[in-house]
Structure 1
Amino acid sequence: MRFILTLLLLLSYSNSFSCYNEYYALDAKGQFHQIEETKRILFMQHFDLIDIEKQLISLEQKLKKKADFRLLSDYGLHLVQAGKVKEGLVIFEKLAELHPNEYSIIANLGTTYELSGQNELALEYIRRGIQLNPNSHGGSEWIHVKILEAKIALAKDPDYLSNHTVLNLNANQKQSQKVFDQLYIQLQERVPFSPKEPNPIMADLFVEMGDFYFENISFEHAKAFYQIAKIYYKSDRKDIDEKIGKARKLREKYAASRPDASNIKRDPSIKQEVPSEMTTSIKVAGIPYQDYFHNPPGSDYSINWSKIETDPVKLLAYAGIQPESPKESKAVPDSTLNDGRHIKATVTVTKTKIPILWIGLTLATLIIAIFTYFKARRKK
């Protein structure tokens, strides 16, 4: 009986390995690359609004018990993610004024300025954030700077991207795995804020990602990135169709190719769990671009704002921060600094209230003086 149980266990152990799959992709040169297809990093199309609502309710209760600017910063971030950009901006502006060296606040203020369309101010604060923490987001915030610079350039010249790219990478950067790992980080963070609509910046970034994959990892994945640029972000670039066509031709060219030990470039980060003779090699092909997107369960949920505080004045008070008294402000045209950046200047106009009684007494005194003067002249 013990022999039979041992035999069954061995067979089970062997069968578990026989089902292990390894995935491989071909680059434009026909080189096979080992990839972790089952662990592909996905782009979240929308934020999980169910989770955000829970977080806001929880944070509000914590703020009422403990005045902590960090809790308020987290609250402001969730407001912005839920579309309350105006309210989040008021919070982050005040927090940045009080905590100018707190990286997360400065970086969140920069992003909130960008979402509100104030790209010059966004650039200023994202640069400041890099100074405070150059390694944040995997050291990828230089890409955020490039994106803001491209947005500012597009505002001045709508044809800017016809002869430039957003990143303007040099030859070495275009072959750098580190650069494209950082681009992946930035795209993951930006996609939830970038709905399915014409967006030349996002389209350009996905084409850049596609070009890297085409040459260095997988023309099949590259095709999916090109399609995201064309279909999801509705790019009208003519070269995208050409790139997609090249990927399809390579699929036909290498249709009969199969990976083996002699032509596989293995990824050292992928742990070899079983001997290669116990695995099945699968060549990646025909990836729909939709497979790169993920929708969390609460993406189509509507937050019940009636039970969530959104008034920045009250929220600042929870954190023990008293906002300044409202002032009447008059916008002044943008000022240009020496480094070419633009800032919004604001002049505060203070109204002086003159007592009506004082005006009346002055007029009365003047009338009496004139009347006395003319009366004296008649007597003469």
Structure 2
Amino acid sequence: MKMKKLLLTVFICLNSSISYACINTYVFDLGRDGIDKKTALEKLKNSNKKPKTYKEMNDYGVLLIYAHQYNQAIKIFKEIEKNHPLLAKTAANLGTAYELKGDLKKATYWIGEGIKRDSNIHEGSEWIHLKILDAQMEQQRNPNWIRSNDVLGLDFGDRAAPHVKVKMIQFNQQNYNLEKILAHSKIQMDQRLRFVEKDPITAQILFNMANIEVIQMSWEEDAAPVLYSTASRLGYSHPELLEIRKNYILTSKWYAFKRVFAEITHFFRHLMV
């Protein structure tokens, strides 16, 4: 199952010290789980030719990011921007490098610039990246911000069963329903879960992904429990609610009945296609 594979990545990557990245290459294949610092340093050391094209320079800059050499990576991407302006990947990589360096304002500018250059970058999900950056800045100003605010503006109540209070999120004149929010969150988490260790912001997004899965009666039966468990591991800010909700989907007979009904409905719809 796609969701299970996506979330299993987190258990492999929890010890990585790289953080919060949406990294873009042209030729170099990072693989499903990216590369670690040691591998990046070895590749940089063994590189026997100077990158010439902007694509080679971009991928060299990506290696620098994975090697934690953020200032050098930024220098590379700025050079690409100067000589080959308006490339969406350059902007996104600059945003990532600045984020890893800890300069959230510049990261926000460049991630936003990447969206302007290509609104479909990362399948149109980068608005969530901007929301995460905003939340990080709020957290810097107030460490308890996450306890009383939702990163994406969602609300599923405080009962055992999640209840939809916000059906649509508007961002930059675009409307995102729960189905689209879930799809875009999966894309962003596929990147982010490779690199985070403890992060209540990421945990909250995972928690809400689980809530949407429960409400939509996902065909992937294990999706919500795995999402709730991963949110817990990453430090979700309201652990009591998380446990109540997780217990609900695991023990509620009413929820089990609704799942069976949803699965039967899904089965017959599939037959009719």
TM-score w.r.t. length of structure 1: 0.53
Partner of 2:60: 75
Are residue 211 (structure 1) and residue 211 (structure 2) matched? yes
- CA pair 253-149 structure 1, distance change in 2 beyond 3 A: closer
Aligned AA for 2:104? N
Q: Helix, strand or coil: the match of 1:131? A: helix
For residues 260 and 193 of structure 1, what CA distance do their matches in structure 2 show?
A: 35
Partner of 1:248: 250
Are residue 179 (structure 1) and residue 181 (structure 2) matched? yes
Partner of 1:137: 122
For residues 44 and 252 of structure 2, what CA distance do their matches in structure 1 show?
A: 50
Q: After superposition, where does 1:1-380 map in structure 2 within 5 Å?
A: 37=1, 40-43=4-7, 44=9, 45=13, 47-49=34-36, 52=40, 56=44, 60-61=47-48, 63-64=49-50, 67-169=52-154, 170-173=166-169, 176-194=178-196, 196=197, 198-218=198-218, 220-231=222-233, 233-237=234-238, 238-250=240-252, 254=256, 263-266=264-267
Partner of 1:320: none
Aligned AA for 1:213? E
Aligned AA for 2:58? S
CA distances 1:5-57 after superposition (whole Å, capped 9, x unpaired): xxxxxxxxxxxxxxxxxxxxxxxxxxxxxxxx378542432533487578657
Kept in 2, the 8 Å contact 1:100–1:106? The answer is no
Deviation at 1:210, TM superposition (A): 0.8
- CA pair 267-67 structure 1, distance change in 2 beyond 3 A: farther
Aligned AA for 2:213? Y
For residues 185 and 208 of structure 2, what CA distance do their matches in structure 1 show?
A: 9
Deviation at 1:89, TM superposition (A): 2.4
Whose relative contact order is higher, 1 or 2, with alpha carbons under 8 Å and at least 6 apart?
1
The unaligned stretches of length 5 or more in structure 2 are: 14-32, 155-165, 170-175
For residues 225 and 109 of structure 2, what CA distance do their matches in structure 1 show?
A: 35
Partner of 1:343: none
Deviation at 1:184, TM superposition (A): 0.3
Kept in 1, the 8 Å contact 2:168–2:177? The answer is yes
- CA pair 267-228 structure 1, distance change in 2 beyond 3 A: farther
Aligned AA for 1:235? Y
For residues 38 and 168 of structure 1, what CA distance do their matches in structure 2 show?
A: 26
- CA pair 48-258 structure 1, distance change in 2 beyond 3 A: same
Deviation at 1:84, TM superposition (A): 3.0
- CA pair 206-115 structure 1, distance change in 2 beyond 3 A: same
Aligned AA for 1:171? K
Deviation at 1:176, TM superposition (A): 2.6
Aligned AA for 1:127? G
CA distances 1:284-303 after superposition (whole Å, capped 9, x unpaired): xxxxxxxxxxxxxxxxxxxx
TM-score w.r.t. length of structure 2: 0.71
Deviation at 1:216, TM superposition (A): 0.7
Identity %: 24
Deviation at 1:91, TM superposition (A): 1.9
Deviation at 1:125, TM superposition (A): 0.7
- CA pair 267-201 structure 1, distance change in 2 beyond 3 A: farther
Higher normalized helix content (fraction of residues): 2
Kept in 1, the 8 Å contact 2:4–2:226? The answer is no
Kept in 2, the 8 Å contact 1:96–1:109? The answer is no
Kept in 1, the 8 Å contact 2:4–2:223? The answer is no
For residues 260 and 247 of structure 2, what CA distance do their matches in structure 1 show?
A: 22
Aligned AA for 2:168? N
Q: Which has the larger radius of gyration?
A: 1
For residues 215 and 108 of structure 2, what CA distance do their matches in structure 1 show?
A: 32
Kept in 2, the 8 Å contact 1:223–1:243? The answer is no
Aligned AA for 1:187? M
For residues 253 and 70 of structure 2, what CA distance do their matches in structure 1 show?
A: 45
- CA pair 260-141 structure 1, distance change in 2 beyond 3 A: closer
For residues 78 and 249 of structure 1, what CA distance do their matches in structure 2 show?
A: 47
For residues 267 and 101 of structure 1, what CA distance do their matches in structure 2 show?
A: 48
Kept in 2, the 8 Å contact 1:220–1:247? The answer is no
Kept in 1, the 8 Å contact 2:70–2:100? The answer is yes
Partner of 1:356: none
For residues 127 and 256 of structure 1, what CA distance do their matches in structure 2 show?
A: 41
Higher normalized strand content (fraction of residues): 1
For residues 2 and 129 of structure 2, what CA distance do their matches in structure 1 show?
A: 29
